[in-house]
Amino acid sequence: MDKCSFCGRSRKEAGMLIEGMSGHICDSCVDQAKQIITEESHRSTKKAAPKQKLLKPVQIFEFLNQYVIGQEDAKRSLAVAVYNHYKRIFQEDTDNEVEIEKSNIILVGETGTGKTLLARTIAKMLDVPFTIVDATVLTEAGYVGEDVESLLSRLLQAADYDVKRAQMGIVFIDEIDKIARKGDNPSITRDVSGEGVQQGLLKLLEGSVVNVPPQGGRKHPEQRFIEVDTKNILFICGGAFDGIQKKISKRLNTLVVGYHASRDKDQIDRDNLIKYIAPQDLRSFGLIPEIIGRLPLLTYLHPLDRAALRQILTDPKNALTKQYMKLFEIDGIKLTFDDNALEYIVDKAIEFKLGARGLRSICETIMLDAMFDAPTSKIKSLNITEDYCKSKLDKSTLKKLQAAI
């Protein structure tokens, strides 16, 4: 009777039996052999990674300047933090009694000020695995949502399941303010998506070995776990912390006491209170002290002013106008923008109060008809004027939004 020469399954037991010169092999053994060959070839071709060239803080800062407009304080803080973090990883002297601890980062700033862009640009420069995770989908284990370990599952995917490479990656946790504690008063119900998630994040931020389900633990409980050491993973957290200005203002007013009170009060920049943010403000907003302690580097992003928004349109390497010019160039069309048209776009972005994201929305609305008609037309050049921008916005739903603001 024909049977598999490897596992002994008969023709009836195997889904398919392939006949060779002097034996047979079933489809299950073929699949298993393929998996073994793939793993072995990947292991044999994987060379020892050369020691990464570590850029100095000034070089990191200059690289960030190519993509991010303004935010000098945040870029300087990030440059120093990233340099110290990877210097700590690559240090030669392992016998030294002084152990350098990891410095995770928290970025505070309004929407559209460049928090995600800063983190993504840093990862691009370092060529390390990078993933963005929205904190709003995280819940405690056993509840509807995603486990905290899913952060590392996505990092593993970004590293093509190379654990050693993933353990030197960067995780950007967005909307960290959305998991703030709901109130100071204890509640009879569990805060499963607030303080519960903060407690779960502690073990990741401080550096520990975590069992990570590569495909997500709740849907595939039978899968094998992958051990990931978070000691050398840099966590960057970002959040708008809407309303934290009230906490800062209250703290500053309580500090201004005595003979110099009025003078010190006048020196406070009331239009940009975010620059005075301190860890105690995060605590009063709803972050637990333990998680604040594991995010020692606190930096802020200024609201974008008119000059910064104007620069964002044209100056960075991936500026919006350059992206549209490239899109039209592929179709053989030369696209240009009048200065007045760019000023008009900036004015509208300020009215909508959406920061840099508002620029993209307005540009898409203005360019939609041109991008629809131009590829099938015979034009070789297109110039965007202020009148053209006005006519397109007047016809769009953005006009209604503008009236509502």
Residues 16 and 97 in one domain: no
What's residue 405's pLDDT? 47
Residues 23 and 88 in one domain: no
What's residue 50's pLDDT? 39
Domain that holds residue 86: 57-243+272-300
In a domain, 250, yes or no: no
In angstroms, rounded to a whole number, what is the distance separating the alpha carbons of residues 145 and 195? 15
In a domain, 51, yes or no: no
In a domain, 251, yes or no: no
Residues 314 and 281 in one domain: no
In a domain, 206, yes or no: yes
In a domain, 101, yes or no: yes
In angstroms, rounded to a whole number, what is the distance separating the alpha carbons of residues 39 and 44? 9
| Tokens read off for 239 | 């959040």
In angstroms, rounded to a whole number, what is the distance separating the alpha carbons of residues 164 and 42? 14
Output the pTM of the full model. Answer: 0.73
Residue 206: partners with Cβ closer than 8 Å, 6 or more residues away: 230, 294
Q: Comparing C-alpha atoms, which of 293, 285, 298 is closest to residue 181?
A: 285
What's residue 49's pLDDT? 41
Residues 25 and 74 in one domain: no
- The H-or-E segment that residue 165 falls in is helix 163-166
In a domain, 52, yes or no: no
In a domain, 256, yes or no: no
Write the CATH number for 111.
3.40.50.300
Measuring CA to CA, how many Å separate 16 from each of 36, 105, 286, 305, 372? 20, 55, 60, 68, 52
What do you get for the CA distance between the two ends of the chain, in Å? 81
Q: How many CB atoms lie within 10 A of CB 180?
A: 22
Residues 148 and 235 in one domain: yes
What's residue 385's pLDDT? 94
Look at residue 226 and give its three-state secondary structure: strand
Residues 65 and 16 in one domain: no
Residues 231 and 143 in one domain: yes
Write the CATH number for 315.
1.10.8.60
Residues 327 and 355 in one domain: yes
What's residue 336's pLDDT? 94
In a domain, 257, yes or no: no
| β-strand pairing of 130-134 with 170-174 | parallel
Residues 109 and 239 in one domain: yes
Q: Comparing C-alpha atoms, which of 290, 296, 195, 181 is closest to residue 237?
A: 296
- Count of structural domains, the chain: 3
133, β-bridge pairs: 173
Residues 74 and 213 in one domain: yes
| Tokens read off for 44 | 């044999």
Mean pLDDT per 10-residue run, the chain (405 residues)?
A: 82 82 86 82 49 79 90 91 85 64 88 86 86 83 70 88 89 88 58 76 86 65 77 91 89 62 63 87 90 92 88 90 94 94 91 81 91 90 93 73 50
Residues 75 and 143 in one domain: yes
Inter-residue contact 374 to 333 (CB < 8 Å):
yes
Residues 333 and 388 in one domain: yes
The dihedral built from the CA positions of residue 61, 128, 111 and 292, taken in this order, carries a sign that is: negative
> Quick one: residue 361, left, alpha or beta (phi over 0 = left, psi -120 to 50 = alpha)?
alpha
| Tokens read off for 308 | 């910064």
